[in-house]
Structure 1
Amino acid sequence: MTTQLVGVVGRGLLAPDSPHAREPKTAPGQVISVDDLGFTRGDGVFDATRVVTADDGSSSVDHLDRHLARFARSVAGMDGDPLDEGPWRELIGQAVEAWTTPGEAVLKIMWTRGLESSTSEPTQVLTITPLSEGAIRLREGIAVALMSRGTSSDAYRDARWLLGGVKTLSYGINMAVKREAARRGCDEVLLTSTDGWVMEGPNASLVTLHLDGGRPVLRSTPVEGTGILRSITQEVLFERAASEGVATELVLQTPEEVKRADAAWYLSSVRGAARVTRFDEHPVAGSDEWTARIRGWISF
């Protein structure tokens, strides 16, 4: 069983760590330098999505076009040159063909500005690794702690240098809030603005269900001005729900409003839809029927 696959744009795939994988093209030498700005400064971006591999070893990538488009927007947000998708698609194609481990895995694509000590080309690498059993278990229920992100809901509107909506490699805060959630006995975090609105999780978007007078409405936080990342899974969900006549809304909500929701989920490209069981100490009833519908719409 292959435990990780690594590739470098312009060089191809590195040798796999298992003789049971198909033999891909190989490329000698290091993958990344310790002098790389992505390592020393977090000066880079990434994107990630799910790879699903059948028992016969054939693999497919979820929503690749959308993820490459978001990746390109993130690179542009860091003032990088326009992304050349051709080499990326070639490398991803090689990686997906070489990855034959049945089950679910994570494809991560990364771009950095290159070496700190000298002018160089950007570093562009990918990895494929199996999705952890812990991540899969969390789909069945997560407890969420509410925490302030320390900025207002519109702080990013006229401050592009804050990199709102850019999926950067600088994940120090994201990891710190998750550690704090664990200290509070929770699995996840819902970040709130200083002016009283809920935003997003550190690596997931929030979707809530409201049965207003029997008319179901799915709600999520708007992207414009808030600085949150555009969620591909949320966009797919709302498109498919709307096609079946279910109302969807991108609106700001207060913590009290999401706590009163009839059900809530955290959506991500890798984990799919994780059902929220409580916000802080407030239980969320949930709905098996709606969870099944949402997972069907996002193909999980």
Structure 2
Amino acid sequence: MTDTVLAVLNQPSRAAEPHDPGADSFTWAKPLEEHIQVMDLGLTRGDGVFETITVIDGRPQALEAHLARFGRSAAKLDLPEPDLDAWRQAIEAVCAGLDPVREAYAKTVLTRGVEGLGRPTGWVYAAPSADQTRDRTEGIGVVTLDRGYRHDVERTSPWLLQGAKTLSYAINMAALREAVRRGADDALFISTDGYVLEGTRANLVMSVGGRFVTPRTDIGILDGTTQADVFRFAEQEGIETAYELVTLDDLRAADALWLVSSIRQAAPIHTVNGVRIEMDLGMTERINDFLLSRQD
């Protein structure tokens, strides 16, 4: 048992040759040693996809939803189709190999591999999560930032890969740094034609007149696995849910706002562009209790 675990897949996709024809489906590796070749396209061009999966008491949550999105993201990049059985086995193995902790995460990464070799690179890394208590109980401040695209960019310009969870996160991290420079904790992207999209690493959920609303997932944003489970919670509670186009006026008029994601779960928003808004901490606690007790 250890506090960080790494499994490197031998054949991430059945559409490509294994790295070692005589080896097992994955091999254990020491997380802090060198494993990736310097010419791997995931490093040199961000040409790959990933998922981050919440692990509670050693159990990966929303595993099938994450694997399904992993496959969809790979398809958008024309990567070899991930062998989901092999990935599932590796994920479950690294989670079982962690020291017992309440909250951890597993990250899956698939790259195109070294240019010219025709073999993708894949690995699963697991480690304990940082303490998220403050964000969940005290809330976060956000600023809105222009993403530079219209809300229909996924339909008009699919080569921009909006809606795929790629390794190309430089813009997201730059937006996060800009939010911090402005005195906030995170950012919400806004389309050039005025629609609210998503956070740098999270989906938006709004409480509006007794309903839960999130931006539509056909507007170049990720279909959130945690957001889907928040809606599952809402439906069990008899709360109506909806996917809608959301404007800045809708955002300002909402009764409560959350950014939801793996690891952090549901973080209530207390400030938007420096303007204080109400938080529903009772509902936040109920949402997070549900998310942290999922059995699938």
TM-score, normalised by the number of residues in structure 2: 0.89
Alignment partners' CA distance in 1, 2:144 and 2:156? 26
Same amino acid, percent of matched pairs: 38
| Residue 299 to residue 101, structure 1, CA distance change in 2 (3 Å) | closer
Match of 2:9 in 1: 9
Corresponding residue of 2:84: 85
Residue 232 of structure 1 aligns with an amino acid whose one-letter code is: T
2:280 counterpart (275, 284, 287):
287
- 3-state SS of the aligned residue for 1:186? coil
The match for 2:189 is: 191
- 1:223 and 2:220 are equivalent in the alignment: no
Matched residue type, 1:95: V
SS in 1 for 2:145: strand
Moved more, 82-91 or 288-297: 288-297
RMSD: 1.8
What is the correspondence of 1:75-224 to structure 2 with a 5 Å cutoff? 75-116=74-115, 118-133=116-131, 135-140=132-137, 141-211=139-209, 216-224=210-218
Distance between the aligned counterparts of 2:158 and 2:88, measured in 1? Answer: 29
User: Which residue of the other structure, out of 45, 49, 53, is the alignment partner of 1:49?
Assistant: 53
Retained in 2: the 8 A contact 1:191–1:199? yes
5+ long unaligned stretches in structure 2:
11-25
* Residue 237 of structure 2: aligned partner: 244
Q: What is the deviation of 1:30?
A: 4.6
1:24 aligned residue: none
User: What letter matches 1:45 in structure 2?
Assistant: V
Give the match for residue 56 of structure 1. Answer: none
Contact in 1 for aligned 2:136/2:284 (Cα 8 Å) = no
Q: What is the CA-CA distance between 1:84 and the residue it aligns to?
A: 1.0
Segment of structure 1 superposing worse, 143-152 or 81-90: 81-90
1:15 is displaced (CA, Å) by 4.4
Q: Does 1:32 align with 2:36?
A: yes
Q: CA deviation at 1:237?
A: 1.5
Q: How far did 1:185 drift?
A: 0.4
Give the deviation of 1:101 after TM superposition: 3.7
Aligned-partner Cα distance in 2 for 1:100–1:271? 20
Return the offset for 1:191.
0.6
C-alpha distance after superposition, 1:75-126 (max 9, x if no partner): 111112222112112212221221124231120000000002x323100011
Q: Hey, what does 1:25 align to over in structure 2?
A: none
Change in CA separation of 1:273 and 1:94 when aligned onto 2, cut-off 3 Å: same
Could you list the per-position Cα deviations for residues 25-77 of structure 1 after superposition, in whole angstroms to 9, with x for gaps in the alignment? xxxx8521111000000000000111123xxxxx1111111111111111111
- Rounded to whole Å, the distance in 2 between the matches of 1:96 and 1:105 is 8
Match of 1:23? none
Preserved contact between residue 109 and residue 125 of structure 1 (Cα < 8 Å): yes
SS at match of 1:49: strand
TM-score by length of 1: 0.87
User: Is contact 1:241–1:297 with CA below 8 Å preserved after alignment?
Assistant: no
| Distance verdict in 2 for CA 1:182–1:251, change over 3 Å | same
| Per-residue deviation, 1:159 | 2.1
Counterpart among 233, 246, 249 of residue 253 in structure 1: 246
**What one-letter code is carried by the residue in structure 1 that aligns with 2:205?**
V
Name the CA distance, whole Å, in 2 between partners of 1:273 and 1:285: 15
User: Are 2:266 and 1:273 aligned?
Assistant: yes
The alpha carbon displacement at 1:244 in A equals 2.9
In 2, Cα distance between equivalents of 1:181 and 1:292: 26
The number of aligned residues is: 277
Change (3 A) 1:182 1:288: same
Deviation at 1:16, TM superposition (A): 7.2
Q: Output the CA distance in 2 between the equivalents of 1:218 and 1:293.
A: 14
Deviations 1:117-148 (A, max 9, x none): x3231000111122123x44222210001110
- Measure, in 2, the Cα distance between the counterparts of 1:144 and 1:180: 11
Task: Report the Cα distance in structure 1 between the residues aligned to 2:44 and 2:8, rounded to whole angstroms.
Answer: 19
Partner-residue secondary structure (3-state), 1:94: helix
The answer (yes or no) to whether the contact 2:71–2:82 under 8 Å persists in 1 is yes
